[in-house]
A and B are shown apart, each in its own frame.
Chain A
């Protein structure tokens, strides 16, 4: 029964089969990663671009190809627009995709996006024909500007990368959702399934997470939990929750 994924997510004209987008970073090895990816049901997964190493070769790419999962290269590690643009162009050349998860972070301690470099890079990459999915702050104004320069989605953080602190400013996420004309993907900060469900209940179109699964004690089981959470949150959002009330309201008939 598939009653919850009733409307397919479309990003930049491309259908995305699952609303759970995963990352590959942090998995102990490719076998663990494979089981987690399969359990997550994801159809789109991030990779990073690094110098080739004879030892690792192209293993993660081979795995994603075998599983039929589309690759979403990121620009992780880039600190300036110029670095991010070069990395995106190399990714397009290596992976033959125009998709890019644009990350331009300000410093290693927070890994928070540098909004000025991010917007600059987004504009350049859109002009160069990329389908740009920017990792951004939970800032409704920046999200709007990223959409205005032509990004195919906006991906606000719930909290800093890898922290598992969940969604620290749900109201900002709701404001981004309310204003956005492109899909909103909650990216970063998810620690457990209830937070993935919350992102969807706030109106996000998808969730992107990596660490919460790959560094869980049992990645495969957590991947499955995240899949259910995203589906549940999406269904709840579209089911129309009851309004909050101050006083109780009996759910059984009164005694005559």
Chain B
């Protein structure tokens, strides 16, 4: 199925989870946070939260700023 990760289209397995989406972009294990369709998904729930087709996944970290 198609999902959008940080604005880019990705093709993931139909039963893909948030953890699978993170693996697809090779995200580091620490210092990141995830929102799916505008809702925060807690780290503890990454492996168990299934993505819907066309889900918008945002993966954020801290950058220089402020």
By a beta-carbon cutoff of 8 Å, the part of chain A in contact with chain B is 23-27, 33, 46-54, 56-58, 60-61, 71-74, 76, 86-87, 89-95, 101, 103, 210
> What is the chain B residue whose CB lies nearest that of A93?
B33
Assembly CA distance A87 to B38 (angstroms)? 10
Contact at B64–A48, with CB atoms within 8 Å? yes
Prevailing SS type, chain A contact patch: mixed
Assembly CA distance A27 to B63 (angstroms)? 11
Assembly CA distance A33 to B26 (angstroms)? 27
Say if the beta carbon of B6 comes within 8 Å of chain A.
Answer: yes
Assembly CA distance A11 to B36 (angstroms)? 32
Q: Which residues of A contact B60 (CB under 8 A)?
A: 49-52, 87, 90-91, 94
Contact at A58–B28, with CB atoms within 8 Å? yes
Contact at B61–A49, with CB atoms within 8 Å? yes
How far, in Å, is B4 (CB) from chain A's closest CB? 12
Contact at A76–B31, with CB atoms within 8 Å? no
Range of interface residues on B (Cβ < 8 Å): 20 to 34
Assembly CA distance A90 to B26 (angstroms)? 19
Contact at A46–B66, with CB atoms within 8 Å? yes
Q: List 30 A-B contacts (CB under 8 A).
A: A25-B64, A47-B64, A48-B62, A48-B63, A49-B60, A50-B61, A50-B63, A51-B7, A52-B60, A53-B63, A54-B25, A56-B63, A57-B28, A58-B28, A58-B30, A58-B31, A58-B62, A60-B64, A61-B31, A76-B65, A86-B38, A86-B40, A90-B60, A91-B33, A93-B33, A94-B32, A94-B33, A94-B61, A94-B62, A210-B66
Assembly CA distance A221 to B33 (angstroms)? 35
Instruction: Identify which of A27, A46, A60, A93 contacts B40 (C-beta below 8 A).
Output: A93
Say if the beta carbon of B59 comes within 8 Å of chain A.
Answer: yes
Contact at B40–A74, with CB atoms within 8 Å? no
Q: Which residues of A contact B7 (CB under 8 A)?
A: 51
How far, in Å, is A72 (CB) from chain B's closest CB? 8
Besides A26-B64, A48-B66, A50-B65, 7 new A-B residue pairs in contact (Cβ under 8 A), listed by A number: A23-B65, A54-B25, A58-B30, A74-B66, A93-B43, A94-B31, A94-B60
> What is the chain B residue whose CB lies nearest that of A25?
B65
Contact at A52–B66, with CB atoms within 8 Å? no
Contact at A52–B65, with CB atoms within 8 Å? no
